[in-house]
Chains A and B, each alone.
Chain A
Amino acid sequence: MKVHVSVLPKPSVLDPQGAAAAEAIRHLGLQGVGRVRIGKLIELELPDATPEAEIHRIARDLLSNPVIEDYSIARP
C-alpha cells in the first residue's frame, strides 16, 4: 500500500520560505492571502499489513522532528 506522510513546520516555528511564497502570491495579484507554510510530502510503499502504530513511529521518529514539525498520515 502507498502511504503519504505530510510534514509541516509547527505554527510557532518561523517559516521564511512560506512567508516568501506568500509575498510572491501577493505579487501575482491575489490579495488577502493568509499564512503560507512549506513542508514536504513523503510517499512510502509499505506492506499492506503494516500496523498503524508502526507508520506513526516512522513518521514521528524519522520523517519529522516533533520539536519543529507536525505530521499527518493519509492513504492516497
Chain B
Amino acid sequence: MKFAVLRFPGSNCDQDCVLALNALPGASADFVWHKDTSLASFDAVVVPGGFSYGDYLRCGAIARFSPIMQSVKNFAAAGGTVLGICNGFQILCESGLLPGALVRNKGLHFVCKHQHLRVESTNSRFTNSATKGQVLNIPIAHGEGCYFADDATLAKLNANDQILVRYCDATGAVTDAANPNGSRENIAGICNETRNVFGLMPHPERACDPALGSTDGLVILQSLLTAEPAKAS
C-alpha cells in the first residue's frame, strides 16, 4: 500500500509519518510537495502535523488553498483513504472534508504529553484493528485542538458513528478531567460520513516504536493495511 505524505511549508511531522509507515510490512510512503497536483500512484494520503503556513490567519486556513488540496478533495470524493493528523486534521476541517473546526485550547496553553484515547468505533478502515472501547496511549502536541461543532453537527456525528476516538483517562473513562483541550464531548478524532476521511489531533506516528514509550499508534496505521480501501482513480 503506497502512502502519499503531504508537505506544506511548515509541516514538521512529515518525516515521522514516512518513517513510521515505511517500517510497516506492506506499506511504503513518499513525500508529496503541496504544489504538486497528482496523487495517481498512491493508495492513501496522509496530511501530517506541523504548522503549515505558520498557522497564519487560522490553523490550516492557507494550506487549504494549496494546489494539492484540490487533488485530495477529488481523491476523497472517489473513496480514497485520507488521514489527517493534528495540523492535518485542522486542514481537513478547513477544507470542508470533515465537519466542525479546531479552536484554541480551553486552557490557552500548548499541550504536549501522552494522552489516553478510547476507540469509540471500529467500523472504519482506520480503526478496524482495534477493539471497541480499547484504550490507546498516543501523544498529543497542539495549541489549537479544541474540537468545536454546533449541536446539530454533533448529533449527526453521534448518529452516524463518526466519532472514532475520544479523550479518556487510563481506565477508559471519558471525563472532563481527561479532556486536555476543552473539545466538545471529548472528541479526539472523527471521520466523514463515507468513512474514508479521518482526522485526529493525537499523533499515531509518534507512538510506533517502543523507544518512544508507546506502540499504540500502530493500531491505527495497521488498520489501514488490513482494510480493503477502494482505489481512487
| Chain B residues touching A, majority SS | loop
B111 contacts A by Cβ under 8 Å? no
**Size class of the B contact interface (CB-based, 8 Å):** 20 to 34
Taking the closest CB of chain A, its distance from the CB of B176, in whole angstroms, is 13
A14 contacts B by Cβ under 8 Å? yes
- Contact status B100-A67, CB under 8 Å: yes
A-side interface residues, number (CB < 8 Å): 12
Interface centre among B57, B93, B182 (most CB of A within 10 A): B57
Cα separation A17 to B58 with both chains bound (whole Å):
15
Interface centre among A9, A67, A68 (most CB of B within 10 A): A67
Beta-carbon contacts under 8 Å, A19-74 to B = 20, 62-63, 65, 67-68
Work out how many contacts link A and B, with CB atoms closer than 8 A.
36
Interface centre among A12, A20, A68 (most CB of B within 10 A): A68
- Contact status A65-B104, CB under 8 Å: no
Cα separation A17 to B109 with both chains bound (whole Å):
11
* Chain A residues closer than 8 Å to B104, beta-carbon distance: 16-17
A16 in complex: contacting residue of B100, B107, B148, CB < 8 Å: B107
Cα separation A20 to B108 with both chains bound (whole Å):
9
- Contact status A68-B106, CB under 8 Å: no
Beta-carbon contacts under 8 Å, B136-159 to A = 146, 148-150
- Contact status B149-A67, CB under 8 Å: yes
A1 contacts B by Cβ under 8 Å? no
Contacts A9-B103, A67-B149 given: A16-B57 contact, CB under 8 Å?
no
- Contact status A16-B58, CB under 8 Å: no
5 nearest A-B residue pairs (beta carbon): A67-B101, A68-B101, A16-B108, A16-B106, A65-B101
B109 and chain A: residue at smallest CB distance: A16
Cα separation A65 to B108 with both chains bound (whole Å):
20
B64 and chain A: residue at smallest CB distance: A62
Cα separation A63 to B64 with both chains bound (whole Å):
12
Contacts A20-B108, A65-B94 given: A14-B57 contact, CB under 8 Å?
no
Taking the closest CB of chain A, its distance from the CB of B97, in whole angstroms, is 13
- Contact status B103-A68, CB under 8 Å: yes
- Contact status A68-B107, CB under 8 Å: no
B151 and chain A: residue at smallest CB distance: A12
A62 in complex: contacting residue of B57, B93, B100, B106, CB < 8 Å: B57
B62 and chain A: residue at smallest CB distance: A62
Cα separation A20 to B109 with both chains bound (whole Å):
13
